[in-house]
Amino acid sequence: MKPASLQVEIAGHALVLSSLRAAFDPALRCLFVADAHFGKDAVFRARGVPVPVGSTADNLMRLDILIAEFEPSTLVFLGDLLHAREAHADEMLNALHVWRARHAALRVVLVEGNHDRHAGALPATLNVDYVQEPWRTGPWALCHHPQNVDGAYALAGHLHPVYRIATRNDSVRVPCFRFGPRHGVLPAFGSFTGGAREDGRSSGERVFLVVHEKVIEVPR
């Protein structure tokens, strides 16, 4: 099934929000992904926590779907591509190399996040360009940590935003995109990630939920 998407206007510029928890700029042909945390399951297993395998394969499959749908010229990870040093396990790096070979013409950029610094650099053979935040392209200042940047609208990750939907008897937390007046935060892309922020909406903030493979704006 083709994932749903919703085109919105953020700070006067078109941005397509995908239910696969990524965003695409159609003018720049640039795909934005935050907090993939590749190798997190391997890190847990290496530290003695029995968790199931498969998150790396799922992450790469969803990236393949996004690339097939949007045909980006550039893929930008907004920090925390890797989870920790143990993510350099041979199995995970081999999977990344196979994936990279399928998309050899695609430029891949990593805005370095806090987990990336602890994990250490990826092999040069993966052909990933490392940049520091804020990294400007088009109207955007691309960051890992949410922040205001003069003269640009900042897109960031780090917070793993979720939104709590509640009825009288039950509630559920769902991933969401949050866009304030000067910066926005993408949901965590990684399959094996939790959610952190779940409060209501800040003044002037737009919130888009990822629910049942759709992207839905919370009414203002």
List pLDDT tens digits, range 40-74: 555 544 554 444 454 688 889 999 999 999 999 99
List pLDDT tens digits, range 126-180: 999 999 999 999 999 999 999 999 999 999 999 999 988 766 666 677 899 999 9
- In terms of residue numbers, what domain contains 72? 5-217
CATH of the domain at 13: 3.60.21
Report whether the peptide linkage leading into residue 187 is cis, meaning its omega lies within 30 degrees of zero: no
Model confidence, pTM: 0.88
Give how many domains the chain has, as a whole number: 1
What pLDDT is stored for residue 33 in this prediction? 97
pLDDT band (50, 70, 90) for residue 213:
confident
